[in-house]
Amino acid sequence: MARGVYIHIPFCHQICNYCDFNKVFFKNQPVDEYIEAVGKEMQMVVHNMPDQFDNIETIFLGGGTPTALSAEQIKRLLDLIHKYIPTNRRIEFSSEANPDELTIDKLKALYNGGVNRLSMGVQSFDEELLKKLGRTHSNEHVYETIEHAKSVGFQNISIDLMYGLPGQTMEQWEDTLNKALRLKLPHYSAYSLIVEPKTIFYIRYAKGKLNLPSEELEAEMYDLLMRKMEENGLKQYEISNFALDGYQSTHNKIYWDNDEYAGFGAGAHGYLKGERYSNYGPIKRYIDSVMNSGRPLLQTHKVSIEEMYEEQMFLGLRKNEGVSVKEFERKFGVHLKDLYGETIQQLEKDALLINDGHHVKLTRKGRFIGNEVFQQFLIED
């Protein structure tokens, strides 16, 4: 049963140099037709699987950039969501946003349409680094937009930050953290740069023209991040996420709990009834499929029980609380130690995991090499 709904808005006014998500330039795109197609896809899926949508906890608008839409387009999208997605109680309703696109009219359209959480892509408070990233906002945009959002009624505001950027120094990263924390927001996310294929950064990297920090410096940046957040009363609840009590992201927790969610829109991914799926990415192909053929499925994959075990570990270990031994047994009917007992013991000896009998979780040392730890839980054929 789905706990959450993800809706992909693939339009951007500017393409960032590091982004590999499904996106297109906004200009000359069939935006209104796309919104109607998303509404029809929601209608079809909910009609065919009504039992999957009885306990929706979150809705998340991602992209691309949802705030690339006009205020009227945002209102139409939210009307369609409320028409087709059953929400009989107050839920977490999030939207990603760019600081230089959130006008008062758009903020009011979001808030009046039920959105109660904003996740803004700030990335850095160093404006030279912002230019390298391909971002178009300034620090003033961030400050003004947060004030405007609060004046409209938003209290749950998060910003995304990035470290390990080309040419970034420790001094620049510390300055960004200090400026971000002075905003006194209830939630922060901070991610190390991953150079993904099909991005401008990847092309530069392949040519040897991307000056990335060393692994040692990146680890120091992560250590500083954790210390700064703790000093400011923000609890780390996942490898890259920090929040005041009561402001943890419910939507992202669905992913880390390895629970099911519906994905709508071009290039969206979902996980329903034990099956992972992805939609067509090209806008026209997506719209034509929805309007003329039915669900716009590019591919589906029935998840095997071995993959479920692996994903429960990979994703659950990202959380500070780790993987619940009791929940693992409830979900799969097998005890964690019967599958991974030797692996867990070895990782404990290496001081990378803690097993208190109730949860298996990363140590502080383990957080620095999380991906290496996760790989130990692959089940060999």
pLDDT of the chain along its 381 residues, tens only? Answer: 999 999 999 998 776 766 766 667 678 899 999 999 999 999 999 999 999 999 999 999 998 899 999 999 999 999 999 999 988 678 999 999 999 999 999 999 999 999 999 999 999 999 999 998 888 889 999 999 999 999 999 999 999 999 999 999 999 999 999 999 999 999 999 999 988 888 788 788 788 888 889 999 999 999 999 999 999 999 999 999 999 999 999 999 999 999 999 999 999 999 999 999 999 999 999 999 999 988 999 999 999 999 999 999 999 999 999 999 999 999 999 999 999 999 999 999 999 999 999 999 999 999 999 999 999 999 865
φ, ψ of residue 127 in degrees (nearest 5): -70, -25
Q: How far is CA 152 from CA 61, 62, 103, 148, in A?
A: 19, 21, 11, 6
Domain 317-375 has CATH 3.40.50.1370: no
The CATH number of the structural domain formed by 2-255 is: 3.80.30.20
Global pTM value: 0.94
Question: Which is nearest to 138 in space by CA: 172, 165, 100, 174?
Answer: 100
Give domain limits for the chain.
2-255, 317-375
Q: Which amino acid is at 165?
A: L
Region of 351 on the Ramachandran plot (φ > 0 left; ψ -120 to 50 alpha; else beta): left
Q: Which two tokens stand for residue 183?
A: 């905003």
- The pLDDT score that the predictor gives to residue 12 is 84
What is d(CA 94, CA 238) in angstroms, rounded to the nearest whole number? 18
Give me the pLDDT at residue 26, please.
Answer: 72
Residue 343, judged by CB atoms within 10 A of its CB (0-12, 13-18, 19+), counts as: middle
The pLDDT score that the predictor gives to residue 381 is 54
Question: In angstroms, rounded to a whole number, what is the distance separating the alpha carbons of residues 230 and 243?
Answer: 10
What pLDDT, on the 0 to 100 scale, is given for residue 31? Answer: 96
Q: Can 2-255 and 317-375 be said to share one CATH topology?
A: no
